[in-house]
Amino acid sequence: MFILFYYFYNQINFIAVSKIPIKTLAYAGAPERLHNDAVEVLKLKYGLEAEISSDRPRILYFLTGGSEAEATKFLKQERFQLLVSSGKTNALASAMEVKAYSNQHGFRNMLLCLDDDADKQLFEKYISVFSALDRLQGKRLGLIGEVSAWLVASSIDTNILKDKLDIELVRIPWKDAGDYRKFGAGKDFMECYHAGRQYNIEDAGRVNSMLKKVIEDHDLDAITVECFSLVQENSVTACLGLSFLNDLGIPAGCEGDLCSITALMIAKELTGELPWMANVVGINANEVLFAHCTAPTSMLSEYHVNTHFETGKGTAVHGRIKARNVSVFRLNNTLDKVFYAHGEVVDGIYEKNACRTQLHVEFDEGIIRELKNNPLGNHHLVVPGDIRDELSILSKILS
């Protein structure tokens, strides 16, 4: 269940095979081989195993002129679609007419012409994002406890999560999660954090083992934990345990933040990696300071164990993010808006009054204004590299 799926590209073709519902469109009475040949082209050029759909296609593929009226039957208000054509046999003319009709009637779609190299590359990225979202269907997300009380903008209605992404939310009260003290700390966990004598990480290892058992018992694909009750009642944190789960490829978030864990799940399918979930703790004219007490060690060039910042108890990950440029994004709680940006990592003063792992990122002024004046919430996801194109597509699909 926790196997990572990767999509690899060369400069021309997809290597991985994706299955996406498509409707091929041609003039009435067009020979069947015209449709079959188009499907074969999609497979050979783009690795797209077309599922010819008669009711809810994601892609309308125009093969000839004279297909306009037929195409309008398959436009869907509830989902974003691609209109795709070549410049041959009046296919583009037909697609443009349908795009105009779509704009007049409020259908959300984009027109791509596969004779254009830029549109070909964009088509590949759309297929990648569609496929990533499709892989989320049927996933089970566990919430241990509740969404933390201070996250007033970060709870997602169960029905929205199911309707938009087909993710099932499984609510697990703390009393049903088990007593961490009855578990043993795994050897691999203890070796990972090598705390030495200064910090006792055995309790953190027990928490990690407990979380693994919850995941196994409830057949979960991801988990988020209302962690402050754990530290307040037992002086033990989930910071290291969540870090370790992310390094195993299991999306794991803290504070019961449903917006962030959903974004973590999406990021895993988009990139094959799990990002860092962080607080925004400082903003100036062109720079943002992100910080949190947990982070995947795979993202860190160095790290050691410290105490949890807010409480001074338990253990936390104190590390240095190794990326030199990052993409940052955030979903809203109705899953129809995405904030995203790309920035350069810069050196900055370590802030003693903030969570243990910290990162200074420089952004354009417009991004800073948007982040301050129209935030979707506090926690943001930090991904190494530049995935703005994929996040832009994600935003169009979800809006």
> Which CATH number covers residue 125?
3.40.50.10940
Q: What per-residue confidence (pLDDT) applies to 2?
A: 31
In a domain, 4, yes or no: no
Task: Band the pLDDT of 112: cuts 50, 70, 90.
Answer: very high
pLDDT at 6: 28
Q: How many residues does the chain have?
A: 399
Which run of H or of E encompasses 255?
Answer: none
Domain end (from 135, 158, 176):
135
Q: Give a yes or no: residue 6 inside a domain.
A: no
Q: In the predicted model, what is the mean pLDDT of the chain?
A: 92
Please give the C-alpha separations between residue 323 and each of 131, 265, 268, in angstroms, as whole numbers: 26, 20, 17
What mean pLDDT comes out for the span 56-79? Answer: 95
For residue range 289-337, what is the model confidence (pLDDT) as tens digits? Answer: 999 999 999 999 999 999 999 999 999 999 999 999 999 999 999 999 9
Do residues 189 and 126 share a domain?
no
pLDDT band at 360 (very low <50, low <70, confident <90, very high): very high
Give the pairing of strands 18-25 and 48-52. Answer: parallel
pLDDT at 249: 97
Amino acid 195: pLDDT? 59
At 17 the pLDDT is: 56
The answer on pLDDT for 68 being more than 50 is yes
Q: Are 297 and 243 in contact (CB under 8 A)?
A: yes
Domain carrying residue 387: 140-398
Domain count along the chain: 2
What's the average model confidence in pLDDT over 365-380?
Answer: 97
Give the model's pLDDT for residue 196. 55
The residue that leads in pLDDT, 392 or 43, is 392
Q: Is residue 252 part of a domain?
A: yes
Domain stops at, among 88, 113, 135:
135
- For residue 398, give both structure tokens: 């979800």
> Quick one: 263 and 351 in the same domain?
yes
Among candidate residues 246, 233, 244, the one with its CA nearest the CA of residue 201: 244
Q: Kindly indicate the confidence band of residue 120, based on its pLDDT and cuts at 50, 70 and 90.
A: very high
Res 242 pLDDT > 80: yes
Predicted pLDDT of residue 197? 56
Residues 123 and 156 reside in one and the same domain = no
Q: What is the pLDDT of residue 361?
A: 98
Whether residue 276 sits in one domain with residue 194: yes
Rounded to whole angstroms, the Cα distance separating 213 from 217 reads 6
Examine the domain organization and report whether 99 and 162 are in the same domain: no
Residue finishing a domain among 73, 103, 135? 135
Could you tell me the pLDDT band of residue 56, with boundaries at 50, 70 and 90? confident
* Mean pLDDT across 167-183: 96
Residues 21-48: what's their mean pLDDT? Answer: 91
Q: Does 186 score more than 70 pLDDT?
A: yes
The answer to whether residue 119 sits within a structural domain is yes
> Is the confidence at residue 226, as pLDDT, over 60?
yes
